[in-house]
Amino acid sequence: MNGWIFVDKPKNITSFQVIYRLRKILNIKKIGHAGTLDPFATGVLAVAVGEATKSIHYFKKNKSYNFRVVFGELKDTDDVTGKTIKSSSVIPTKPEIDRCLKNFLGKHSQIPPKYSAIKLNGTRAYKLARKNHDFTIKPRTVYISNLECINSLNENEYSFRLDCSTGTYVRAIARDLGIMLGTFAYVNELRRTKIGKFDEKDIILLDKLEELVHIGEHFEVMHSIRDVLDDIPAVTVNNELRHKFLNGLSFEYVNKKYQNEFLLVQTRSKLLGIGKAIKGKIKPIRVFNL
């Protein structure tokens, strides 16, 4: 059992709790996820099973979200689960919001929320925040290709749609948008709708997956490593080079198009692993035992 499953993460559980349940459902220990979703969030969670866990690091796809923002309150977590620490009577109109959104498009410098999984000197930021430690998180550059306000849900709540690079914090967008509009804001609801080419038509509920496991049809919802990493160029090798690669040995490869890039290494019938083109050679980085 080696591949990827795209799960519809339920609300009010952590991404790790999803993995814990999947370990029991699939009866497999080697399992992990790419792209954590906050406990209050739902939607597409990419889960690697078996040898596919070796490919998690290379699954860095753009993501899409639908979310709701409440204006007039600042939460310590920047989402609905936190404590209100500031409030304002200023509630923006949709035209005012629309004018602000262009400031986020393209390359955008963003400071992640203090309640996040970013490590500072080996400790997760959210652990420091819970202990009321004073700390700062350095800004990071993200890319936002689309951000739009869809409609007004009530007097102080609006719905949004977002397409962005991996590593983007939706909560930080809401927080910063509130500040730009002279008020405060937090994310009230969040759903990830897409990772790369995988969207809501590709996801499965945990209960449904458990049903499929019982009747032995769960392999039908599993995606191959090759399918999931289809944005990485592939190199097909002969039997001699296959042996070298599987034994951790580099081999000659001259291609000016691919220098210092990761490549899928395969035979005509089998994916062998991930290599890297370095100085006229391909060096094995991850070897799959498929």
The one-letter amino acid code at 184 reads F
**Dist CA 250 CA 266 (whole Å):** 14
Chain centroid to CA 147: how far? 17
Residue of 38, 76, 78, 176 with catalytic role? 38
Residue type, 194: K
Active site residue 231: no
Asked if residues 167 and 142 have their Cβ atoms less than 8 Å apart, the reply is yes
Instruction: Write the DSSP assignment of 100-140 as a string of letters.
Output: HHGGGSEEEEEPPPSSSS-EETTEEHHHHHHTT-------E
Per-residue b/e over 36-69, b at no fewer than 16 CB within 10 Å? ebbbbbbbbbbbbbbbbbbbbebbebbbbbbbbb
- Catalytic residues, which ones? 38
